[in-house]
A and B are shown apart, each in its own frame.
Chain A
Amino acid sequence: MEKTFKDARSALDGLLFDGMTIMAGGFGLCGIPENLILAIRDSGVKNLTVISNNAGVDGFGLGMLLNTRKVKKMISSYVGENKEFERQYLSGELELEFNPQGTLAERCRAGGAGVPAFYTKTGVGTLIAEGKEHKVFNGETYIMETGLVADLSIVKAWKGDPQGNLVYRKTARNFNPMMATAGKTTVAEVEEIVELGSLDPDCIHTAGIFVQRLIQGEHEKRIEQRTVRQRETV
């Protein structure tokens, strides 16, 4: 089956519907599926629930979906400096569910692995634990968290082959591998689609079974906090 599509718009054809849940990989602006986010912005879809660690910045990344008011609810661990997000949240237009970052990552991993729920000590004794099942294992208290799945997962990798095998680069891996497993459909965008056989099978991060559609795209890779040191001059 052909998994490769010519662009983000054609790769999303027939997958989008109002009220759907979308997982989007990335940490801050690092390793985000820029082209697919843009194509979702330009589609007519609305009332989205978006599961992503962060919400982009004003006018870039998932921030672009906020600006066009496509998002009804975000599930995130940290929403940072995003004025439009803050405005929509404070005015009640946008619903927000905070998950601890590790809990969010594990919920995606569990969802993709067919695990409906798991116990964690993260958040015990905090607001996060309210209303959740508590259970004691070996004298320590844990809370139950549920696995997450999405109608669509959009992820970004460095390289991919026509079978959908993916390799990520450095810290741009982050949430992408788990989210790739937790979508009913997963669309990946990569910097380069390489020939079958050119990726080392021992070094593939996401096996192609999790990826239904694949595109190659250009990436701006905007940097949120450019932090440098100075060379000492002799």
Chain B
Amino acid sequence: MPWDRNQMAARAAKELKDGFYVNLGIGIPTLVANYIPEGVDVTLQSENGMLGMGPFPYDDEVDPDLINAGKQTITELRRTSYFSSADSFGMIRGGHIDLLILGAMEVSEKGDLANWMIPGKMVKGMGGAMDLVAGVKRVVVVMDHASKSGEPKLLHECALPLTGKQVVDMVISNLGVFEIDRGKGMTLIELADGVTLDEVKAQTEADFKVALR
């Protein structure tokens, strides 16, 4: 059985290490916060200017001055600090954030990432994605293995305009986990329970080595 959204998020949470400062993208990556392992203390960064992001507020706690990068209302914690967008991206670009978990439309075997633009469609903008993939120490992509129409998303080269070149370190899909040696190539290291290597090969355009753990 391929992993569902929550299982993918739970697998991504295994990449968290004690003491990490982490930025989570919108969608499945947001769910990772629900699976932080016992005994692992992580601080979530929100690129609009906050470290130490708490859970969503109760109805009577909602504060319009307190939102995350997805513009959702959130809460603060005792460890929270606030800062400007310039300081926020200073800590991102300066390599102070340990881990970024985000979604993608396409990833290449060399670690290129495309997730902000489909030519011919209305483009909403890259937001902070280009800064995050360029600056965060380790970049993990969580995405479905194939598009809704069944097209592979792990490719030799991305067809869509890039968000970053040679920036991805790991891809967690609904079929398994790949490690990427940036600029060199990718290796399948895990299969989702009951998924076979042949199934993965059938849905992958990218070349990859196999070193299952």
Contacts and interface: CB of A to CB of B under 8 A. Distances in A.
A92 to B, nearest CB: 13
B51 to A, nearest CB: 11
Contacts of A116: none
Given A100-B126, A171-B50, A228-B57, A105 B135 contact: no
Contacts of A231: 58
Interface in A46-76: 53, 76
A225 B88 CA distance: 22
Contacts of B173: none
Interface stretch (A172-180, A194-202, A207-215): A172-180
Chain A facing B: main interface SS: loop
Contacts, number: 176
A170 B125 contact: no
A174 B84 contact: yes
A170 B62 contact: no
Contact size class for A?
35 or more
Contacts of B55: 229
Interface string B121-137: 01111111111001100
Contact of A171 (B48, B89, B128, B161): B48
B136 to A, nearest CB: 11
A132 interface: no
A77 B128 contact: yes
B85 A103 contact: no
A121 B134 contact: yes
Chain B facing A: main interface SS: loop
A125 B182 CA distance: 14
Given A102-B92, A102-B131, A228-B56, A223 B83 contact: no
Contact of B85 (A86, A122, A127, A174): A174
Given A169-B65, A171-B82, A103 B131 contact: yes
Given A30-B71, A221-B64, A224-B67, A229 B48 contact: no
Nearest to B117: A127
Given A77-B128, A174-B48, A231-B58, A90 B122 contact: yes
Contacts of A227: 56-57, 72-74
A123 B130 contact: yes
A105 B88 contact: yes
Given A102-B89, A225-B67, A173 B58 contact: no
Nearest to A53: B85
A114 interface: no
Contact of A177 (B84, B92, B123, B135): B84
Given A27-B48, A90-B122, A228-B62, A109 B86 contact: yes
A225 B71 contact: yes
B65 A221 contact: yes
Contacts of B122: 86, 89-90
B163 interface: yes
11 contacts: A28-B71, A77-B127, A79-B125, A100-B129, A101-B85, A105-B88, A122-B130, A170-B76, A176-B84, A178-B86, A227-B72
Interface of B: 46-50, 55-59, 62-68, 70-74, 76, 82-86, 88-90, 92-93, 112, 117, 122-131, 134-135, 161-166
Interface of A: 27-31, 53, 76-80, 86, 89-90, 98, 100-106, 108-109, 120-128, 158, 168-178, 205, 221-231
